[in-house]
Amino acid sequence: MKKIRLVLTGIGNLGQRFCRILFDKDAQLQERYGLRFVLVGAADSRGAAYNHKGLDLAEVLLLKATGGSVSKYGEGGRPGWSAQTLVEFAEADVLLEATPVNLQQRAEPGLSCMRLAMRHGMHVITPNKGPLALAYRELQALAQTQRVQLRFDGAVAGGLPAINLGTRDMRGAIIERIDGVPNLATGFVMDQVAEGTPWEEALSRARLEGVLDGDGAWDLEGWDAAAKLVILANAVLDIPATLDDVSRTGILGLTPAELAAARKRGERYRLLACAERQPEGDYRLSVAPATLTPQHPLGALGSKHMAIRYTTDIYGALTTIIEEADPTPSAATMLRDLLDIYG
């Protein structure tokens, strides 16, 4: 039995769901892979908990479910600690970085936590798009220098293995284009408005369903899709793209009448993220709403679907669609990444 020590920064929706998965699957993972994952540290916005023998996942989950902070954890609660302090102090094998995206604050504290962890020789797994969109090349270079792995299969299109498909299964191909619907919130909101729900109510419902956070600008203005496209461009296409390279149009310019008219024609709007290979070999990156006929390969996506389509020279065109009734698949990508490292 191999023991793997984990530190988790950010215990929001994804972080809690990941703890739940680890709690439920402990026996299965030990039996099937001979691996015992032990959460030794966790940090939320109000403090941290650290115990080198391992934290009790049930207690962590109960604290969070009742609106508390892990800093109140029984044997190891650390009220004053930031996420960075925890990562600095912890003796662990892997950092799971699941703090909010926070692009306004230069992707902090996620970016600092990732740098610190790698400098301490820890692998980093993250569904957090912020640090990757801002500093992909720097982080990958650091991972290489430190001989650790940086994995982020959950950063693009939730539980859909978009990065794995692109980096592993498309090897040897020239990728002619990537077309994706990597953002859940915009599709959900546009479907609601197309059916006659007022914008504000559609946004409220999206928040209730857990597909939209905060004021919604990150999703609705296309930043989320653009960040995911930047990550795909770097990881899969191996081009040093940044957010500035993406021509970005959000969905806020669409009128309810346009959305309803498309629906009446049997079509649906989706926020499409595209990378199109140019004759010179570089790629044009764009995010913009598009109206899709049912015949379009991404034209039958439901409100809780995301998709990625790779069009290549030798592997044909490959479309992968995920249905996420709730964010569990997105959280589960951290387990997928762990098993990619250790399994």
Query: Which residues are near a copy of itself by CB under 8 A?
Result: 21, 25, 28-29, 32-33, 158-161, 164-165, 168-169, 171-174, 294, 297, 300, 314-325, 328-329, 332, 335-336, 339-340, 343
Cβ closest to a copy of itself, residue 165 vs residue 239? 165
Q: What angle do CA 246, 247, 250 make, to 5 degrees?
A: 110
- Give the shortest CB-102-to-a copy of itself separation in angstroms: 26
Please say which residue, 43 or 292, places its beta carbon nearer to a copy of itself: 292
The nearest distance, CB 326 to a copy of itself, in angstroms, is: 9
The residue (of 48 and 57) whose beta carbon lies closer to a copy of itself is 57
- Listed residue (161, 97, 158) closest to 132, CA to CA: 97
Nearer to a copy of itself, 214 or 343 (CB): 343
Distances 194 to 131, 143, 180, 298 between C-alpha atoms, Å: 34, 45, 21, 18
Question: 22 or 254, CB closer to a copy of itself?
Answer: 22
Rounded to a whole number of angstroms, the minimum distance from the CB of residue 275 to a copy of itself is 18
Our CB check for a copy of itself shows the closer of 160 and 251 to be 160
The label of the residue with tokens 């939209």 reads: 212
How near is the Cβ of 293 to a copy of itself at its closest, in Å?
Answer: 11
* Greatest Cα pair distance in the chain: 61
By the 10 Å C-beta count (0-12 exposed, 13-18 middle, 19+ buried), 124 is classed as buried
Of residues 109 and 329, the one with the C-beta less far from a copy of itself: 329
* Residue 119: CB minimum distance to a copy of itself, A: 28
Cα Rg for the chain, rounded, in angstroms?
Answer: 20
What's the closest the beta carbon of residue 83 comes to a copy of itself, in angstroms? 25
Minimal distance in Å, beta carbon 29 to a copy of itself?
A: 7
